[in-house]
Amino acid sequence: MGFADRVRQDTIYTMSTSICVSSPFHAGFILVRSWITIIDGGKSKRTPKWAKLWCGIGIYSTYILEIACGLLEYRIFGAENNYAAISGQVNAVKMINGFFWALTLTIVLFTYGRRISKQLRGNKEPSPQFKKIKLMCR
């Protein structure tokens, strides 16, 4: 809990909150990367370089920005005595970052989900696995 004062309590709070906020984005990027690999991976099923770079920037920037902005709220913007204080300016930066990555993830997921669904339409008898994949793409 941080009550021994070896590590500041706001640091523990910031780190755990940042991980909770960034983890769903991480999972989303893993899903997007696998769908891009399915469609654009070719015979070798290798992820294209642009997708690796885009996912890497998205994952790392989300974690780094969440942690850095969380620490800034406490250390610079005067919320040291209140563990629930939020700086509107710093929070806006975090929200803009989250909105940007959520929007790009949604666009790419929608695009590649439709492409995967189109590839699977060729089967006359849909298997249970086909139904699961199509449901996930929807």
What does the alpha-carbon distance between residue 16 and residue 13 come to, in Å, rounded to a whole number? 5
Whether 84 is in a domain gets the answer yes
Residue in the block written with tokens 């929200």: 95
Q: Give the C-alpha distances (Å, rounded to integers) separating 46 from 9, 15, 111.
A: 43, 33, 19
Is residue 22 one of the residues assigned to a domain? Answer: yes
Q: Which domain does 73 fall in, by range?
A: 9-106
Is the pLDDT score of 75 beyond 90?
no
Question: Tens of pLDDT along 77-114?
Answer: 665 555 556 777 888 888 999 999 999 999 998 888 88
Residue 113 lies in a domain: no
Position 14 in a domain: yes
* Beta carbons of 72 and 87 less than 8 angstroms apart: yes
Q: What is the 3-state secondary structure (H, E, C) of 116-134?
A: HHHHHCCCCCCCHHHHHHH
Question: Which of the four pLDDT bands, split at 50, 70 and 90, describes residue 11?
Answer: confident
Query: Domain for residue 67, yes or no?
Result: yes
Q: How many domains does the chain fold into?
A: 1
**Domain contains 118:** no
DSSP state for residue 83 in the 8-state scheme: T
